[in-house]
Amino acid sequence: MSSAGDDVLFPGFATSTIATDGAEIFVRHGGSGPPVVLLHGHPRTSATWHRVAPLLVDQGFTVICPDLRGYGRSRGPAPTADHTAHSKRAVAADIVEVARQLGHETFDLAGHDRGSYVALRLALDHPQAVERLAVMDCIPISEHLRRADARFATSWWHWFFFAQPEIPERVIGADPDAWYAPKADPASMGAANHAELMAAVRDPHVVRAMLEDYRAGLTVDRDHEEADRSAGHRVGARTLVLWSKRDDLEALYGDPLEIWREWATAPEGFAIDSGHHMAEEAAPAVAAALGRFFD
């Protein structure tokens, strides 16, 4: 584990790079008290939590914010033909190892967007590590695909575009700013968070890893979820489900808790008045919800 001192975007936090099995994971960590791990979504980095993490520290938690394998400043192995190198199982194992090297065998866990799929996989594969689980603006990948219809395909077409071989790399790589900047508002995100995001997506290695995340989602990750469903595996940890009022999860599926009852024992949760990137747009509400749940 190498350490790089204080983090300008997260005052009082340290940054480290931690070696796992085949990856080098960049992580921000700070605070004292019970550990909480926060996992970001696509195409964000750990910087997406820059407004939530200090609020959780103020509530008495140690907060750990990694860049997922291949995202941001983390690096992973070369992609594999079966996409297992970027599977949620591989990324979940990274997170367990990061927490262990920071001194935590158990922790509370929250994931947003793609990070929520990692969080679910981690809770299923490493139940002994997860005290409590929070999933944000998501249902399991296999549940999306089971319900996929024309509305889903129209709104979430990028899932299927990203899964194509080589084409999305060429399209995005031709002008990454044109691809990502329209949905990345520096006023909403914060200028430093925006700058970190744009620096990451201009790196073709990061773009390739993010695309592999989606390719894994439609193949090996779906297979892992279907195997868990067939075997009757469910999350044993207490589970909180949060979703955005101004995103489309409810419009597509109704009450997300109904779906999560198939995956967790007695999940609880509610909507946050926010768009999709709720950690940036509604940080006080998110921090309050997580703090109450993890207390």
CB atoms within 10 A of CB 24: 16
- How far apart are alpha carbons 294 and 61 in whole angstroms? 9
Active site residue 50: no
Catalytic residue among 50, 86, 224, 276: 276
Cis before 66? omega within 30:
no
- How far apart are alpha carbons 131 and 164 in whole angstroms? 37
Closest of 60, 26, 8, 54 to residue 203, by C-alpha: 26
Catalytic residue among 113, 137, 221, 228: 113
Q: Which helix (H) or strand (E) holds 162?
A: helix 158-162
Active site residue 40: no
Cβ atoms of 9 and 196 within 8 Å: the answer is yes
Torsion angle in degrees (nearest 10) through CA of 153, 159, 163, 169: 120
- How far apart are alpha carbons 160 and 215 in whole angstroms? 8
Q: Which residues are catalytic?
A: 113, 276
